[in-house]
Chains A and B, each alone.
Chain A
Amino acid sequence: MNDIAIELRGIDKSFGLVHANRNINLTVRKGTIHGIIGENGAGKSTLMSILYGFYQADKGEIVVDGKVVTIKDPNAAIASGIGMVHQHFMLVENFTVLENVMLGAEDSQILNTSIAKARVELKRLEKEYALEVDPDALIEELPVGLQQRVEILKALYRRADILILDEPTGVLTPAEADHLFRILGQLKDQGKTIILITHKLREIMAITDEVSVMRRGEMVATRPTAETSVEELAELMVGRRVLLRVDKGEANPGPVKFSVKNLTVRDARGVTMVDNVSFDIRAGEIVGIAGVAGNGQSELLEAISGIRKAVSGSVDLNGTPIDMTGNADPRDLRNRGLAHVPEDRHHVGLVLKFEESENAILGYHHDKRYLNGVFLNIDAIRADAEEKIQKYDIRPPNARLRTANFSGGNQQKIVLAREMERGPDVLIIGQPTRGVDVGAIEFIHKRIIEMRDQGKAVLLVSVELDEIRALSDRILVMFAGRIVGEREPDATEGELGLLMAGVEGRKEAAE
């Protein structure tokens, strides 16, 4: 028997002038977990999209199970036993789990009989792979971790032997990620082959058998995971040594620049998401907010940046009190020196259909230097964008490219460049490195610390506890809408974990 699941030979793909994949060769062995890493824009997603039939390669062959196949669309991929779990799930929100799993794979025209069959099959799969989900739950009511499980079930239901996961942990909490890895381990034990794309080298080290590294469209190395190290992988990816630790000096906090006072925020359904929160940030200090996703951090960020109305509370920005219950205007806040890198760059921080240069002025489009009277000064806008592209090494360096065509990490740099280059007094950052490669993480972390050292007040929200601990000068822990504790950055992971789970906090609050 052949023990090669997939072999790619000489795959080549260009989008216009962007050469996304160059003569790629890749061999994935059956029954292994194969990691693929590479900088943002290295071409990982493109390669997997070719394997899954979303794009056609310009050149090259795909060999599945020893046979050369043409994969002209995702149906052909599924027929060859290849399934994919997308970074952005492709589920019908108001369908049940069962309906989603069988959608498009109904094996009879009569829906009732196929529903009954599907239910039996789904139960079997759930048992076999320990992937419990309630088949009758609506997708929109499930947390992301479970939605992802449904995506996996969908692939298994279609008898996939090879499963591709593109950055599956980007949206998961650490506990959910652990659970996912246990599932992947189980799938591997059952003989499935898994291809895993991720930016988190720790994950690569923890669960893969082999790892391949891409750089600027090329496959530069493949290593057995046991024979490599995080440092070596980072260097292979970026082409130079990468500082994986954050190098930061002592903080030099000055006077209070930004304070939040008794802020309460409710969501659309009237559930209290932020509950009477108050804190200060000083000039030259990074305050990190740690917490499991969904404990009010997002609503807090939206309220203090003026996007969402608060029920009560105010902020003090540079000594000016601003009421947050009325129409706090994001424009006004910006003028007073507040910059905001939102968590959701796709829907909030960027307009994906705009050219890069148009996004580089979003929110600052009133600035005189981008205007001639009521007209846009296109030359000035583009020149400004080019400058930021240079400075932040945004790739490809094309200010006229549609923002949707930049890779995730480069999109994040577009937002960061816009907000940081303004020299704001207060910088609010949500998930600065979500979906961003190690080289860019190093760069972004350096910038954040630079901002601090220039005397800015920085508020950092991240679900990555490591990131919070590495960057913050003080850590606030949020649980169920409240700040349940404050710790020094050298607090242990365990200690913070307990606070984040709401265990310690309750005691502290009671005291």
Chain B
Amino acid sequence: MSNPYAKLPAWAEYGLIPLINLVVAFLVAGLVVLLVGENPLKAAYHMINGAFGRGEYIGFTLYYATTFIFTGLSVAVAFHAGLFNIGSEGQAYIGGIGVALACLWLDKTMPWFIVFPVAMFGSILFGALWAFLPGWLQAKRGSHIVITTIMFNFIASSLMVYLLTRVLKPLGSMAPQTRTFAEGGQLPKLDWLLSIFGLDIGNAPFNISFLLAILAAFGVWVLIWRTKLGYEMRTMGHSPSAARYAGISEPRITIVVMMISGGLAGMMALNPIMGEQFRMQLDFVQGAGFVGIAVALMGRSHPAGIIPAAILFGMLYQGGAEIAFEMPAISRDMIVIIQGLVILFAGALENMFRPAIGRGFASFGQRFPVAAQRGA
């Protein structure tokens, strides 16, 4: 009885429950749309069509998804060690410095496939360093990570304003951004990937950092479930007292995990900076770090769940922009409400329907014991 809820088969746990949560979130969102006097079915149509209706739209959806995979993984890695890293936002922002420096240094002399790994290294380094500080403060000084990472988000934001208005801005320019990178600082698009499915990428900035994100997801899976460090992280995440008993050093794990988490967040910067804008702009993260929290929650902190969750949020972003464009009565803020509802039902209220589903399974099991047993 350590688990208050009956155990469900895996497909229900990881498929059915998130699906039901999602459907309910959309139903409630539909009510909100009704409330402002618009047709929810029309909104749903624009949402789906805007996210998947054309090759170009799909490209945009996956472009956003790429960003959310990185930040989702960042939050998830920390979750596994029992740490709540709210600082992915700031770490991604600072990670951008690494990307920008690599590009500014090499873009005119080197091809993208040389610049890309250097920029990746830079993004990891800067993101990890930004996460190291809160990690160190918690490990050595006991300052809670939830508080410090929030504060570090603000510090990162001010620091970037300074850097982009004073240091990294080209002379004579009025915009708070770096110069535009030459060819070497621009990532190739994944048009060939979409064309396999007969889709045309159009203007969408869907680029090869998506493949890096998939690779990172696999890497995180290996880290968590197949390495000694991952084992130590999970022990600490589930039971700090058992970790102490096992001789696992809490300060060490805290610092290392925060750096890995920060590095993953930092990698997110590759996607907008080298994949879309070809320069570093103010506020290029645009809340992706916070979306990462929702993505990690919804994806159960498992890479195989984070990827679909990131695509879902990519769809909300891209499709949501389309709704706002097609249906002027529904503003951008409404889209944020819908996203909030998804987070609410998928994250905070994820157990709401579980008891009912568990009971459903129990009575199903009574009527069809053999089938239920095999399912379990």
Chain B contacts for A334, CB-based, 8 A: 247
**Chain B 238-278, CB within 8 Å of chain A: the 1/0 string?**
11011011110000000000000000000000000000000
- A374:B245 contact, CB within 8 angstroms: no
Closest chain B residue to A306, Cβ basis: B247
A342→B242 CA distance, assembly (Å): 10
| B286 interfacial by beta-carbon distance below 8 Å | no
By the criterion CB–CB under 8 Å, are A376 and B227 in contact?
A: yes
Contact with A along B87-125 (1 / 0, CB 8 A): 000000000000000000000000000000000000000
Residues on A with C-beta less than 8 A from B2 are 352, 404
Segment touching B, from A220-228, A360-368, A439-447? A360-368
- Segment touching A, from B300-308, B321-329, B365-373: B365-373
Instruction: Give the complex CA separation of A305 and B246 in angstroms.
Output: 10
Once A56-B362, A374-B228, A376-B228 are accepted as A-B contacts, the answer to whether A342 and B238 lie under 8 Å apart by CB is: no
- Residues of chain A within 8 A (CB-CB) of B362 are 56
State the CA gap A344–B239 with chains docked (Å).
Answer: 12
Near A by CB (< 8 A), chain B positions 340-360 give 359
Binds B, one of A287-295, A325-333, A463-471: A325-333
Whether A351 lies near B242 (C-beta < 8 A) is yes
Dominant secondary structure at the A interface? loop
Is B235 a contact of A351 with CB atoms below 8 Å? Answer: yes
A14 at the interface (CB under 8 A from B): yes
Contact assessment for A330 and B228 in the assembled complex, using a CB-CB cutoff below 8 Å: no
Question: By the criterion CB–CB under 8 Å, are A404 and B3 in contact?
Answer: yes
- Of chain A, the residue at the smallest CB distance from B239 is A351
Q: How far apart sit A363 and B248, CA to CA, in the bound complex (Å)?
A: 8
Asked whether B376 is an interface residue with its Cβ less than 8 Å from the other chain, the reply is yes
Contacting pair A376 B247 (CB below 8 A) = no
Interface size (B, Cβ < 8 Å)?
Answer: 31
Does A16 reach chain B (CB closer than 8 Å)?
yes
Choice from A16, A55, A59, A371 contacting B376 with Cβ under 8 Å: A16
| A348 with B242, Cβ < 8 A, contacts A14-B373, A363-B247, A404-B2 known | yes
User: With A352-B2, A363-B246 in contact, do A347 and B231 touch (Cβ < 8 Å)?
Assistant: no
Query: Nearest chain-B residue to A366 (Cβ)?
Result: B228
Q: Complex: how many Å from CA A58 to CA B231?
A: 37
CB-CB < 8 A to A55: which residues of B? Answer: 6
Does B228 lie within 8 Å of A375, measured CB to CB?
A: yes
Q: Name B7's closest neighbour in chain A (CB-CB).
A: A15
Given A332-B247, A375-B226 in contact, is the A58-B365 Cβ separation under 8 Å?
Answer: yes
Q: Does B1 contact A (CB under 8 A)?
A: yes
Scan B1-17; emit 1 where CB is below 8 A from any A CB, else 0: 11100110000000000
Asked whether, in the complex, the Cβ of A17 is within 8 Å of the Cβ of B242, the reply is no
B227 touching A375, Cβ below 8 Å: yes
Q: Check B245 against A376 for contact (C-beta < 8 Å).
A: no
Judge if A349 is at the interface, Cβ distance under 8 Å.
yes
Interchain CA distance A331-B226 in the complex, whole Å:
21
The listed residue with most B CB atoms (<10 A of its CB), out of A340, A350, A375, is A375
Measured CA separation A331–B235 after assembly (Å): 15
Distance in angstroms from A83 CB to nearest chain B CB is: 16
The interface residues of chain B lying within 8 Å CB-to-CB of A352 are: 2, 238-239
Do A362 and B242 have beta carbons less than 8 Å apart?
yes
Q: Is the CB of B226 within 8 A of A376?
A: yes
* Chain A residue at minimal CB-CB distance from B369: A58
* CA distance in complex: A365, B247 (Å): 10
Q: A181 within 8 Å of B by Cβ?
A: no
Interface positions of B from 186 to 241, Cβ below 8 Å from A: 222, 226-232, 234-235, 238-239, 241
Indicate if the CB atoms of B1 and A362 lie closer than 8 Å.
Answer: no
**Once the chains are docked, how many angstroms separate the CA of A86 from the CA of B2?**
12
Decide if A125 is an interface residue (CB 8 Å cutoff): no
The residue from A86, A330, A371, A374 contacting B244, defined by CB atoms under 8 A apart = A330
Interface contacts beyond A16-B376, A334-B247, A366-B228: sample of 11 additional A-B pairs, CB < 8 Å, sorted by A: A56-B362, A72-B359, A307-B245, A332-B247, A333-B247, A342-B245, A349-B242, A354-B238, A363-B245, A374-B228, A404-B3
What are 6 pairs between A and B in contact, CB < 8 Å? A15-B7, A16-B376, A56-B366, A348-B245, A365-B231, A375-B228
Q: Which 6 A-B pairs have the closest CB atoms?
A: A331-B247, A330-B247, A363-B246, A16-B376, A404-B2, A351-B238
Residues of B within 8 A of A (CB): 1-3, 6-7, 222, 226-232, 234-235, 238-239, 241-242, 244-247, 359, 362-363, 365-366, 369, 373, 376
